[in-house]
Amino acid sequence: MGFFDWVFGQFIDVIEWTDDSHDTMVYRFPRQNNEIKYGAKLTVRESQMAIFVNEGVIADVLGPGIYELETKNLPIMTSIEHWDHAFNSPFKAEVYFVNTKRFTDLKWGTKNPIMVRDPEFSMVRLRAFGTYEIRITNPKQFMNEIVGTDNHFTTDEIDEQLTNLIISKFTTIVGDSKVPVLDMASNYEKFSEYISEKIAPYFEEYGLNLTKILVENISLPANVEKALDERSSREITGNLDDNIKYQTGQALGSQTGGTMGDMIGMGAGIALGQNMAESLAKKSLDTKSLNKNSIDKNTPPPLPQRNSTMYYVALNDEKEGPYDIRTIQLFINDKKIEKETLVWTEGQKDWVEAYSLLEKYFLATPPPLPKN
């Protein structure tokens, strides 16, 4: 390399920047101790701005266009360097290109669940996530507050701080909204607008504009969602007893193994065994009552009456039955059904005391046997 090549290599006469990274916010032009030639061409493209920094001070901010670097293009720089039209010496300065396009699809989300009060579920923990968009609107402020002397500043370097701002305000907004958890899905758009309104001023402190924020999902912990699914299943079934029978059948007919299936099958077996035990105990009690009545009277039991009315009886705080009138009369004779015992039959609105419904059977009860 000749002497003159070396000399001309020290002067930069074309300054421009193109970017295909999609996440670069600020890029410093690599001067490497070279001096920018007086009269050099500077190209600032659309969605860019150029910042001149001279001796640590921001001298000028230039928008899109082609500039010939001389005193008439750099008025502030001129006052710093005391340039005049006759002074053609090269100068040393740093040129930063600021990307003013919109940066999209930036992610935000809660790191830990948010504890809020819910009008239906009392207290719940929520998680939320979504996306947001930003744009640099004040390059000088952004340089001073955030970038500093970073020669290649990307969205990753500020994303965490902006996410923390969003989450802190989101937590307050959700806590104050008092919107039930089950209705939040229909309010995502309102949340987005409200959050954007409340957080935008904090972004402006960095020289940024929060152009859009979206709430994509608000979810409950997995165990709470499972409980809601079970509740929905019960409500769809419509009856708790029918739901238990349905789950029992599903568990017994399941061909899949695993701990959860075993637990469901065990629970179903216990429930089925309890039902069978109660049924057998009831039949045994009825048989004993019939046998005892037969022995005491030493006569065959009365013929079944044609009255087909069936009765339910509240015994030991449990609903038993239905029983026909013959069995009811035996229970009255055995003092198993007292006058105050609650009974119910088809056509009644509420449970009533046995005496008000079966008075004649109480009057027909024989006195106790004489003692020997």
Position 280 in a domain: yes
Provide the 8-state DSSP code for 347. Answer: T
Q: Is residue 57 part of a domain?
A: yes
CA distance linking residue 42 with residue 35, whole number of Å: 14
For residues 153 and 255, membership in a common domain is answered with no
Same-domain check for residues 126 and 176? yes
What DSSP designation does 91 have? Answer: B
**Pairing assessment for the beta strands 35-44 and 11-15 based on DSSP bridges:** parallel
Tens of pLDDT along 120-149?
777 888 888 899 999 999 999 999 999 988
Residues 121 and 214 in one domain: yes
- Please check whether residue 228 lies inside any domain of the structure: no
- 32 and 18 share one domain: yes
Distance CA 56, CA 311 (A): 96
Q: pLDDT 10s digit of each residue in the chain, 372 long?
A: 444 444 444 456 788 999 888 899 999 998 766 677 777 888 999 999 999 887 778 888 999 998 887 655 555 554 445 444 334 456 677 899 999 999 999 999 888 888 888 777 778 888 888 999 999 999 999 999 999 889 999 999 999 999 988 888 887 877 777 788 778 777 788 878 888 888 889 999 999 999 999 888 888 877 777 877 777 766 665 555 666 666 666 666 655 545 555 555 555 555 555 666 666 666 665 565 555 555 455 566 655 555 568 889 988 888 888 888 888 888 888 888 888 899 999 888 889 888 888 888 888 666 666 765
- Residue found by looking up tokens 């230039």 in the block: 62
Cα(148)–Cα(130) distance, rounded to whole angstroms?
Answer: 29
Question: If DSSP codes are grouped into helix, strand and coil, which group holds residue 15?
Answer: strand
Q: What's the pLDDT at 84?
A: 42
212 shares its domain with 126: yes
Q: Quick one: 191 exposed, middle or buried, by C-beta within 10 A (0-12, 13-18, 19+)? A: buried
The reply to whether 234 falls in a domain is no
Any domain includes 38: yes
Tell me, yes or no, whether 40 and 69 share the same domain.
yes
Is the same domain home to 204 and 164? yes
If asked whether residues 197 and 109 sit together in one domain, one would say yes
Nearby residues of 256 by Cβ (< 8 Å), 6 or more positions away: none
Residue 26 DSSP label: E
Our CA angle for 321, 323, 327, nearest 5°, is 130
Q: What is the CATH number of the domain that holds 156?
A: 3.30.479.30
Domain endpoint, select from 167, 194, 223: 223
CA dist 310 and 84 (Å) reads 114
Give the chain's domain count: 4
Residues 208 and 114 in one domain: yes
Which DSSP symbol is given to 220? -
User: Which residues constitute the domain of residue 149?
Assistant: 103-223
Domain harbouring 356, CATH code = 3.30.1490
Instruction: Please tell me whether residues 53 and 129 are part of one structural domain.
Output: no
323 phi and psi, to 5 degrees?
Answer: -120, 145
Position 372 in a domain: no
- Say yes or no: 71 and 139 in one domain: no
Same domain (yes/no): 283, 317: no
**Residue 352 contacts residue 367 (beta carbons within 8 Å):** no
* Predicted pLDDT at 209: 93
pLDDT tens-digit readout, 145-186:
999 889 999 999 999 999 988 888 887 877 777 788 778 777
Residue 229 domain flag? no
Q: Answer whether residue 369 is part of any domain.
A: no
Of 46, 80, 99, which residue is a domain's last? Answer: 99
User: Domain end: 189, 223, 257, which one?
Assistant: 223
Output the pLDDT for position 1: 45
